[in-house]
Amino acid sequence: MLEELLIFTRGGLILWSSCRALGGAALKGSPIDALIRSCLLEERSAETSFSQDTYELKWTFNNDLGLVFAAVYQRMLHLLYVDDLLAAVRKEFSQIYDPKRISYDDAFNEIFRQLHLEAEARSEEMKKNKQVIRSRPTKISNNKKTTPGSRDTAQDSNGDSGNGDSDGGSGKERSKPNGNTKVQENRVKDNSHAHTVVVKGKENGDPNDGAFDVSKLQMLRKNKVRNNDGARDVSKNTPKPNQKKPNQKKNRIWDETPSDRKLDFTDPADKRGDKVIDQVDLNQGTSMMDKDDAVSSDEGEEDGEENAGAEQGEKNDTASTQKKGWFSSMFKSIAGNNVLEKSDLQPALRVLKDRLMTKNVAEEIAEKLCESVAASLEGKTLGSFTRISSTVQTAMEEALLRILTPRRSIDILRDVHAAKERGKPYVVVFVGVNGVGKSTNLAKVAYWLRQHNLSVMLAACDTFRSGAVEQLRTHARRLQIPIFEKGYEKDPAVVAKEAIQEATRNKSDVVLVDTAGRMQDNEPLMRALSKLINLNSPDLVLFVGEALVGNDAVDQLTKFNQKLADLSTVPTARLIDGILLTKFDTIDDKVGAALSMVYISGAPVMFVGCGQSYTDLKKLNVKSIVKTLLK
């Protein structure tokens, strides 16, 4: 049974609802709102269906009119006529649609009833046809039915008619007319499960056909051994030339005068390390988080985009010329009456998909993005003097901006002051896989918070990796920040809880919790992480990921969120809230990992690590990333 069919505009205006017009029961929850938030706004509109609680939702678009048609039904019913009904409703409603009209309750009620009955009747007829087809007895052809007698007869006939042309058979191996030999019985037993296939009058079922002779293999091995022995004797008799010792590698001198700069800061000048700390504070300066970086090389990027658009346009023009002729395609581009079809969009989308993949975007994400853009453009009318390639490029740019722009506020400083007014410390937990730089970037965040006159405390909850506590202790000593530690082999959830209690007593503003690196498939460590998050309820869960990864970014974030949801002890599971991208200075223009992570998780990129000093922490410049992806 169909629960609701809703027709609304892209701007959110509801034009017609089956529940409102026909008096149906109201839906539990807000499945349509969930569809808009999770699919339509996140560029997942190319997916076939969406599940929310006990409901299943399907939808279609009329992009030329800017309309959305959504159907809601119970997930357990598996209604087969929903797609057919949506297509019929879209066709009929588009004919009576008027942009100035906002209600269609009277005009569309009878039309929908008729379309609904017709769709249900077609679905019932299809079910009956399928049942009739299944109930028919399946006929087994005689040539596929193999018996010992028939197999022997086929072998005899093939042997007689082949005139010695069979691949592996010989006169001695041919079966006798009575078929009583042991060789024939063994062949029938071994190959009774195989189908008899006749090609050019010969039967392809003989196990000796195409078999390799073992005696030939042994002969080849003997010859190879002899040749190797002969080669060894020749090499022994041949005098060896004088071999020179390889040159040892020398240290490369980059400059004429080597630098006397001290690189090892682990040894403080005194026990407290005051001199080292003063030097760090004086030299490092303001964090890049507080600097507004403008997009560089705009002109070059725009030129690259124009050249790429011209290349796409030339390819697309060539394809359209072959289909419709040069004059008709030129006339339609001038008149602006060309309605976009999926086949028209495929060449430009294929170029965009390849470009995104070269920028390190996961293949699955690039494919979904192109499908979503195609779904949003299909049926639209192309404007005058407008190329299809430029239209697709603009739609993709808008989609990428919509995905990468955060849906909520990511102002951590404001959230810290709000928690301070409540008398509680703001707790941030850093999670991620091994070796991505969690501890280093935690120290960068601490340095940035400290510059805003906030008191910060570090919690050493990586009780698994050797040296993790000492590493965090070094950062705390250099930044003059207190650290809470309990050593190794302790429960990290308990350590984090005690650290938060200590911060509350000392009236610290922020607690930064360092956790052990773990692979997404490590069940014990993922269970420990879920316990830490559920027990302490942090204000922010940051996933630290490398900007170098491609397809693995999707797997990491998906499994992290899945494990946190599965192992959660509360009804509403706590998932990843934000992303910190590290090693961003090593990837040049391969910035696709940011898009892959945001698309798969829905969490915004809150920090970007771009160096090895404490100041090398930036905000993500969304416009710059989009330009780089499409360059």
Q: What pLDDT is stored for residue 249 in this prediction?
A: 64
d(CA 263, CA 277): 14
Which residue matches tokens 């707790």? 427
Phi, then psi, of 550 in degrees rounded to 5: -115, -95
Give domain 2-124's CATH number out of 3.10.310.70, 1.10.3720.10, 3.30.450.60, 3.30.110.70: 3.30.450.60
Domain range annotation of the chain: 2-124, 339-404, 412-622
Angle between helices 492-506 and 523-536 (to 10 degrees): 30
**Residue 242 tokens, joined:** 């004088």
Q: What pLDDT is stored for residue 476 in this prediction?
A: 92
Give me the torsion for CA of 25, 92, 49, 20, rounded to 10°.
Answer: -20
Q: What pLDDT is stored for residue 483 in this prediction?
A: 94
Q: Measured on CA atoms in the order 253, 258, 259, 264, is the torsion positive or negative? A: positive
Query: Please, which residues have CB within 8 angstroms of residue 156's CB and are 6 or more apart in sequence?
Result: 174, 175, 177
Closest by CA to 556, choosing from 601, 610, 609, is: 601
- Rounded to two decimals, the pTM is 0.62
Q: What pLDDT is stored for residue 174 in this prediction?
A: 43
Q: What pLDDT is stored for residue 239 in this prediction?
A: 52
Q: What pLDDT is stored for residue 304 in this prediction?
A: 47
**Residue 209 tokens, joined:** 């056909």
SS3 434: coil
Which residue type does 322 have? Answer: Q
Give domain 412-622's CATH number out of 3.40.30.10, 3.30.465.10, 3.40.50.300, 3.30.365.10: 3.40.50.300
Q: What pLDDT is stored for residue 295 in this prediction?
A: 37
CA distances to 149, 211, 437 from 166, in Å: 20, 13, 67
Low-confidence ranges of the chain (pLDDT < 50): 140-210, 212, 234-236, 263-283, 294-327, 329-335
Longest Cα separation, the chain: 105
d(CA 143, CA 67): 57
Which helix (H) or strand (E) segment holds residue 512: the answer is strand 510-514
SS3 440: helix
- Give first-to-last CA distance, the chain, whole Å: 49
Q: What pLDDT is stored for residue 457 in this prediction?
A: 95
Q: What pLDDT is stored for residue 223 in this prediction?
A: 66
**Residue 316 tokens, joined:** 């697309």
Angle between helices 148-162 and 182-190 (to 10 degrees): 110
